[in-house]
Structure 1
Amino acid sequence: MSLTDKAIAQIRELIRTGVLPPGSKLPPEPELAAQLGLSRNLAREAVKALSVARILEIRRGDGTYVTSLQPTLLLEGLGGAVELLQGDSGALRDLMEVRRLLEPAATALAATRITDEQLAEVKRRLDAMREARDDVEQLNTHDAAFHRAVVSATGNDTLLTLLEAISGRTLRARIWRGLIDADAADRTLAEHEAIYRALSRRDASLSEAAALMHVSSTEQGLQEHLRAGSLPPDAPFRNPDGSSHPGETAG
């Protein structure tokens, strides 16, 4: 463990034990360094690292504070980390496995909690997918929004943040499937329609099964393209006319 890592661990321990609770202000840098037996440089580096991790917040001209430490805040960086995986096929498979474990269960939970207004939002996203079936970029944008609407209905913000983070790369995989498989849009729409119908019936088991079928289909497509080496780490969006522009990923 480096000296900086040790400094980070010391500050984390103060937070963990409640000496520095959520929302509290850290002592000024010289005082903090003396309290921990660190040099000012080490204390400064530790604070910077913890601010990147959303554990601390540096307010210019005011001081450094412990954040709310809410799971949604602390998990924000996960999506960015996922995007750094590049072409690591093993890691992509692992992410799909995590999604397969979580998303069907989340969809089942949504079926028991979804309101009429939330169901209408899911339907609106499904309709937008139908309208965009010939536009790969828009289809996948609405696809991500559909899943966000479903998981939002659980009322569990931590679950939503986690699933959005791990789905960024799988969205790119879906886009790539659309580039080389003419039937991908039809299959994707059919799978999403099945999820919506199950949710509209408030049937948890059926919703879970529909979501599992959809995630498994996406996972199978990803596996096929990874085996074929046809899923580049930076696949661009392509328009129907064949032109391309840099892709953006969504949760």
Structure 2
Amino acid sequence: MIVAGELLPGAALPAERELAIRLGVSRPLVREALRSLEAVNIVESRRGAGTYVTDLTPELLLAPLSYAFRLVHGSYLDLFQVRRFLEPAAAAEAASTVKEDNLVEMDELLKALDEPDEDTFPENDLAFHEWIVRQTGNPLLLSIIRGIRDLEFTVLEVTAANTVNREQSQIEHRAIGKAIREGDPERAKAAMLLHLARVEDQVRSSGTGCPASASEAH
């Protein structure tokens, strides 16, 4: 019912009894299903008010991915490996498919990154990388990237405190943007790889391991 769009984000679910009748199952099975859906942030139970569909944002639905990453003591180097698999290809695709009108937004994001404010840099950095992925038109890829945003944000908060690092990142961002604007997929891919490799090398040199030690990066 949710996937089919019958129950939209924020909608109240029918009572358990009605669901059991409509779905042709027992009420205990309905309760079990609702608990499972609540565990993965698809529905939420409100005391005294019933059960509701959540807002179904990618960040909310993919939050368990971040928890799993921490529970298995994943390394930030694992995070960069995932990004190296996905983002260079996304940059190449963006260079091939970006619409002229969307380049205005890219310019605004790059301009925001020129600001020497370390507090706003992480969010602006993530916004630029997300803009690139959005140009691919692939909702699954966008959901995956949004699902690891909080992990990336933790790294960026620390690295943004370094002025030289912010300036170097911006040089690399502009190189990526220039290649996308000029419709050069291979150069966009190479520029993104160079950018991610440089940041990863800094994290690797710092000896940072699992997310719990992120504050030790740089």
Shorter chain as normaliser: what TM range? Answer: 0.7 to 0.9
Q: CA deviation at 1:76?
A: 3.8
Contact 1:111 1:207 in 2 (8 A): yes
Partners in 1 of 2:178 and 2:44 — Cα distance? 44
Q: CA deviation at 1:206?
A: 0.7
> 5+ residue gaps in structure 2?
8-12
Change (3 A) 1:61 1:35: farther
Change (3 A) 1:228 1:63: closer
> What is the TM-score normalised by the length of structure 2?
0.75
Instruction: Tell me, yes or no, if structure 1 residue 138 matches structure 2 residue 120.
Output: yes
Hey, what does 1:100 align to over in structure 2?
Answer: 84
Contact 1:178 1:184 in 2 (8 A): yes
Matches within 5 A, 1:21-36: 22-24=4-6, 29-30=16-17, 32=20, 35-36=24-25
Deviations 1:108-156 (A, max 9, x none): 111111112211211111111112x2x2111222111111222222222
Deviations 1:155-193 (A, max 9, x none): 2222112112224322321321233x4420121111101
Three-state SS of the structure 2 residue aligned to 1:115 is coil
Partners in 1 of 2:153 and 2:36 — Cα distance? 30
> What is the TM-score normalised by the length of structure 1?
0.66
Hey, what does 2:203 align to over in structure 1?
Answer: 222
> 5+ residue gaps in structure 1?
1-14, 236-251
Contact 1:122 1:149 in 2 (8 A): yes
Partners in 1 of 2:171 and 2:159 — Cα distance? 15
Matches within 5 A, 1:99-248: 99-131=83-115, 133=116, 135-179=117-161, 181-225=162-206, 227=207, 233=213, 235=215
Structure possessing the higher relative contact order (Cα contacts under 8 Å, 6 or more residues apart): 2
Deviations 1:29-81 (A, max 9, x none): 246299445x63x53243132144355687999987999xxxx8567422464
Hey, what does 2:37 align to over in structure 1?
Answer: 50
Matched length: 209
Partners in 2 of 1:214 and 1:54 — Cα distance? 34
Contact 2:122 2:160 in 1 (8 A): no
Partners in 1 of 2:184 and 2:87 — Cα distance? 15
Deviations 1:5-40 (A, max 9, x none): xxxxxxxxxx8xxxx972457885246299445x63
Three-state SS of the structure 2 residue aligned to 1:116 is coil
Contact 1:21 1:66 in 2 (8 A): no
Higher deviation after alignment, 49-58 or 118-127? 49-58
Q: Which has the larger radius of gyration?
A: 1
Contact 1:140 1:171 in 2 (8 A): yes
Contact 1:87 1:232 in 2 (8 A): no
Change (3 A) 1:120 1:79: farther
Letter in 2 for 1:50: L
